Amino acid sequence: MDQVILLLGWMGIYAPVALGTIGSSIGCTLAGQAAAGAMLDIESGYGKYIGIAAMPSTQAILGIVIMFTLNRDVTPENAAGLAAIGLLAGIAMLLNGLYQGRCLVSAIDASKHKPEVFGLSLAPAAIVEGFAVFTFVFALVLAGSLPN
C-alpha cells in the first residue's frame, strides 16, 4: 500500500508539467488552426493572430514552476499532499489551456470579420488566463505547507 501512496506522490510532482503541457498543446493547436484559417480570409494583419495563438503556452510554463516547487523526496507523510496539489493543479492547467484556446478561436473569428474588436475579443482569453494564475498561486502556497 505504501508503494501506491508513494507512486501517487511522484505522479503529483510531475502531473502539473505533463497535464499543463497537454493543455497548452491543445489550446495552441486550436488557436493556431483558427489563425491559419484567418489567413485565407483576410489580406493582411494576420501576424497578430499567430502571436495570440501562443497564449495558451503559459499553462506549460506554470506547470514547470509548480513541478519544481513540489519536487522533493516523496515520503508517506507528504505523498498525499503532493498527489492532491499536483494532480488537481495539472488538471486545472489542462482544462485552462483547452478553454483558453477555444476563447482564442472565437476571438480570431470575430476580429477577422470586424477588426476593430480585436483587443476587446481577447478579454475572455485573458480572464481564463487569470484562472491559471490563481491555480498557480494556490499550488505554490499549498506546496509551502507540505512536509519535506
Domains in the chain, start-ordered, CATH in brackets?
2-143 (1.20.120.610)
Q: For the segment 73-106, what is each residue's pLDDT rounded down to a tens digit?
A: 999 999 999 999 999 999 999 999 999 999 999 9
- Rounded to two decimals, the pTM is 0.92
Q: To 5 degrees, how large is the angle CA 101–CA 94–CA 79?
A: 165
Position 85 scores a pLDDT of 98
> Alpha-carbon distance 74 to 2, whole Å?
11
Using alpha carbons, list the distances in angstroms from residue 43 to 39, 47, 54, 74.
7, 11, 21, 55
* CB contact burial 54-90 (16+ within 10 A = b; e otherwise): ebbbbbbbbbeebbebbeeebeeebbebbbebbbbbb
